[in-house]
Amino acid sequence: MTMNPLDLTGKTVLITGASKGIGQATAIYLSRLGARIVAVARNRDRLDRTVSQLEGTGHSAQTFDLNEVEQIPAWMKTAAQVSGPLYGLVHSAGIVLNRPLRVLSPRDLTDMQRINVDAAVMLAKGFRQKGVREAAGGSIVFLSSVAAFKGKPALAGYSATKGALISLARVLALELVHDGVRVNCVCPGLVRTQMAAELGDFMAPEQLEKLCAEYPLGLGEPDDVAYAVAFLLAPTARWITGTALVADGGYSA
């Protein structure tokens, strides 16, 4: 009998940012591994398109605005009453703003911090509530970025938030260990998504070409990140917590 080390059959996983890009690809891939997906985003139509592509049954879509950070734990309690206890949490929703320091505003910082970091904290807080997660424990994955390790001009605010997620994962890995919850980050490089395409609008063709040349294995696809998320979620990663798994085609090598 063939064994699948990434088997997630019977596991319910909540994924934010599930309506597009990496979040969408992750939701689809995890469903192929047998997981029941709770897909979360703000846009109902795009969310429904994601759910229609999921394999298996028992999936659901939840529209929620993660800017409402104070409401996240209570919302998760309600969501888990519908979906059943969660095994996994993937925070893929995020904002990137290209802002050189000379124009970086407190509002820009707040906007990125709120979704990229504050929501991650509150999602974790919600996840550890009794009845929200499986009693035996679970696994949390935050989507950080290679920008946390390798600087690029005009990404100060964004990089700071992605670095914060790595620190957050390290702390929560220790704080939640007795709850049986592992906490890790995936740090993708540049992946072909709508967000990356918009980033390209800010660059001259030669700048974009130079950036692509910094990837020994070429630019990534959303599925490349989904595979890394699946690895960290799966029970075979039971001895991995508090880490940041870089998936960047060799960019930071």
Partner 1 sequence: MTRDEFLIEMDAILDLPAGTLKGPEKLAELEQWNSMALLGFLALVDTNNGLRLSQRQVVLCSTVADLLSLATVEGVPE
- Supply 237's token pair: 């990663």
Q: Which of 29, 87, 158, 251 is catalytic?
A: 158
| Backbone phi and psi for residue 244, each to the nearest 5 degrees, phi listed first | -125, 110
| 49 or 152: CB nearest partner 1 | 152
CA angle 245, 224, 222 (to 5 degrees): 115
Kindly tell me which of 102 and 178 has the beta carbon lying closer to partner 1.
102
199 CB burial (10 A radius; 0-12, 13-18, 19+): middle
Question: Which amino acid, 243?
Answer: T
Minimum CB separation of residue 210 from partner 1 in Å reads 12
Q: Assign residue 132 a region (left: φ > 0; alpha: ψ between -120 and 50; beta: otherwise).
A: alpha
Is residue 114 within 8 Å of 157, Cβ to Cβ?
A: no
Alpha-helix runs per DSSP H in the chain: 21-32, 44-52, 72-83, 106-113, 119-127, 156-175, 194-200, 205-213, 222-233
For the CB of residue 208, give the shortest distance to partner 1 in the complex, in Å: 9
Q: How far is the CB of 159 from partner 1 (least distance, A)?
A: 15
Q: Is 251 a catalytic residue?
A: no
Q: Closer to partner 1 at the Cβ: 204 or 253? A: 204
Closest to partner 1 by CB, 202 or 216:
202
62 close to 89: Cβ distance less than 8 angstroms: no
Question: Smallest gap, in angstroms, from Cβ of residue 92 to partner 1?
Answer: 22
Which spans of this chain sit near partner 1 (rule: CB under 8 A)?
97-100, 102-103, 105, 107-108, 153-154, 198, 201-204, 207
Query: Nearest distance from residue 43's CB to partner 1, in Å?
Result: 18
Compare residues 70 and 202 and give the one whose CB is closer to partner 1: 202
Distance in angstroms (rounded) separating the CA atoms of residues 87 and 192: 29
Active site residues: 158
